[in-house]
Amino acid sequence: MSRSKTILDISDSHPDWLFARCSKPVEYLIDRSASPDSKGRFDTWTLCTELANNYKIEILLQVSDWGFVNLPNAYIKTIPAKAIENILPSPHLSLSQYALNDKVYHHLCFALANTIVFDKSNKLAIIQYCFDQCKNIVTKLFTDRNYRAVDTMQEISVIWSQVAVHNFLNYHYHLENDTLLYSNPKYRSHYYATLYVDKDITGFHTLKLTSTLLPFIGCIINLGDTYKPHCLPNQFIADESLNGISFRIFSNWLKAVSPSAYNQLEKSILSYMVSVVKANKKPIEYLTGCLIIDTETLAFRIDLSVFQTFIDSDKSKRFNSKNKRRLLDESRLFLLESANYTPHHIFERSIKNLEQPSLIDKNVLVIGGGAIGGYILLSLARLGAGAGGGKLTIIDNDNLSIENLGRHILGQNYIDKNKATALKEEVNNQLPNMTVTAYPHSILNRMDIMQGMDLIIDATADSYASQCINEAYHNLDKITAPIISAWIRNNGECVQSLFHEKEVASACRSCVSKNGYHMRKEYDALFEDRSTITALQACRDYTPYAVSSSMSTASLVTDMVLDWLKGEVSPRYRTRYSEKWHGKKLQSADFLPHEDCHVCARP
């Protein structure tokens, strides 16, 4: 269906949808005389709908992409205008205002584009869906406070950040010029600050502020998931918040969300005030606080100017309960942006809804930093290995060469550097606060580092080295961790992994490879007589395979690690074939120790 045909069909089937070619609404903060965007005109429909509470809502839908790679933009205008102020700040609605044809709108987020599949040949149905979805969201926003409350808490960190930015821009506008802005202490101390949360060892957080580079002075309150959904009050963004939000307004909101959290906050502030009075010392300018809700950080700053004035006026002798309450109520509070770099936020957020454990606090060793080991190391780091109180260790005595670039996870910046050291550097470049140890040695000379580990990964893909590792693993009593071996068969026809722990009767690496030279028949994943293609390079040979084989091996190992964390390691011997393999396939299974294995066979 063409664009023109769609427009005509909408006019016929929905005569109440008003069509026009309009400019894009222009975003503005205060100045309503801002000119519209003159870069183009777009197909625009306006629909008025009346809610159960007699609010009349005007929805503006504007199509800028008829291929619908991007969904239409939606805006709402309310009658009366005050109605929208009663639900802001809110999920789905922008705090910024937009102007078009002397009307004021707010941008409406009505759908997650990546979750919707459209039949793009039916453009009328897409437009109909967008309007229906807009009406549904708007109706819930204006008529269902519980919906707004639940949605607000789900998006609390985003809304919190939007409020912080909105209040700063509002403050910026009212100061009229940058000179006043940059010289104003509120800008430097409050609006420009960002709180970075670095570590969360045993529940205590390390925090720093970008604006002052001073150590964190304040309190951390971790609500976890024990809170009641509640909307943010409009006073958080009202004009009276230019000089901070009233502490009373903030405390009323926090009491509704978590009375215990408010009690902790009040106790922290009053304890500080009492300590200042007793010590007869000058108070600091502000206290910084941070609420933690489901690992999301909500930072704020409490301006202590009122308390400073009280101390300077020599009234400290009358610091009674009445004065304490008055000083709290008269204090002002500023919302701050924050960034949470703690392991539980970064590494568990992608799996917390899957009830999947992580490698945080575990000691993990990866032996071999080649094409396989490099991908495995980065994958395990993203599962939390090396975070919290744990340690991620990598050992490899080889240097990265130009020949490695085609299938190694590291790039040209690391050429001629030791692979283990380079991989440690790469992990630290990509992920914060990781404890990574690199050994630029051969594992054959350092079998002792397998001691004290929770998990060992043999990524050498070298049969001789794997045999030696397996023997040392069984001979040293102090090595108690399970070991996962992984390798690529021939030219990447399949990849395999083996999970083994010496306390359990299961096949070890020496069971699979007889004398370290070839696969025993019963373990061989390539049943056909298929020779390996090799290449010669300066008196040495290597086996060519695609980079996808390294990635597939890392994926196989990662899945096995996740299963181990859940206590579901079976099957312990796993094989994944490439799509091009059409021969007979070996089923993944649990194999018992081979009867003539020289390492693990038991009489």
Q: What is the DSSP string of 260-272?
A: HHHHHHHHHHHHH
Under a CB-based contact definition with an 8 Å cutoff, are residues 486 and 556 in contact?
A: yes
The single residue listed with the structure tokens 């003539």 is 596
pLDDT in tens, 8-32: 988 888 888 999 999 888 887 555 4
Q: What pLDDT, in 10s, does the model give residues 169-187?
A: 877 777 666 665 556 656 5
**269 or 440, which is more confident:** 440
pLDDT tens for 99-157 read: 888 888 999 998 765 556 667 778 888 888 899 999 999 888 888 899 999 999 988 98
How distant, in Å, are the alpha carbons of 210, 341, 347, 427 from that of 434?
Answer: 21, 11, 11, 8
Task: Say what the pTM is.
Answer: 0.71
How much is the average pLDDT of 534-552? 60
SS (H, E, C) 498-564: EEECCCCCCCCHHHHEECCCEECHHHCCCCCCCCCCCEEECCEEECCCCHHHHHHHHHHHHHHHHHH
Amino acid, res. 200? D
User: For residue 344, which of 323, 360, 363 has the smallest C-alpha distance?
Assistant: 360
- Cβ distance 523 to 573 under 8 Å? yes
Tokens of 34: 């801002």
Closest CA to 447 of 423, 471, 422: 471
- Write down the H helix ranges in 144-201: 145-154, 156-175, 178-183, 185-186
Please tell me the distance from the alpha carbon of residue 254 to that of residue 540, in angstroms, as a whole number: 68
Cβ 389 vs Cβ 480: under 8 Å = no
If one counts every other C-beta atom within 10 angstroms of the C-beta of residue 151, the result is 20
pLDDT category at 579 given cuts 50, 70, 90 is confident
**At 288, which amino acid appears?**
T
Q: Between helices 305-312 and 259-279, what is the axis angle to 10°? A: 30
Q: Quick one: pLDDT band at residue 207, thresholds 50, 70, 90? A: very low
Distance separating alpha carbons of residues 401 and 420, to the nearest angstrom = 13
Query: Which DSSP helix (H) or strand (E) runs through 71?
Result: none
Round to whole Å and give the CA distance between 482 and 473.
9
**Collapsed DSSP state (helix, strand, coil) of residue 57:** strand
Q: What is the per-residue pLDDT across 519-542, written as a single tens digit (0 to 9) for each? A: 788 888 887 555 555 444 444 434
pLDDT tens per residue across span 27-53: 875 554 555 555 678 999 998 888 776
Q: Please provide the DSSP assignment of 363-397 as one string.
A: EEEEE--SHHHHHHHHHHHHTTTTSTT-EEEEE--
Query: Cα–Cα–Cα angle for 120, 126, 127, nearest 5°?
Result: 135
Q: How far, rounded to the nearest angstrom, does the alpha carbon of residue 409 sit from its chain's CA centroid?
A: 22
Q: What tokens appear for 439 in the block? A: 């050994």
pLDDT digits (tens, 9 = 90+) for 217-228: 567 888 877 899
pLDDT digits (tens, 9 = 90+) for 88-102: 998 899 988 888 888
Question: Which span out of 115-129, 278-292, 294-308, 455-469 was modeled with the highest average pLDDT?
Answer: 455-469
Residue 600 and residue 510 in contact, taking contact as beta carbons nearer than 8 Å: yes
Six-digit token string for 197: 């949360």
Over 80: is that where the pLDDT of 327 sits? yes
DSSP assignment of 459-480? ----HHHHHHHHHHHHH-TT--
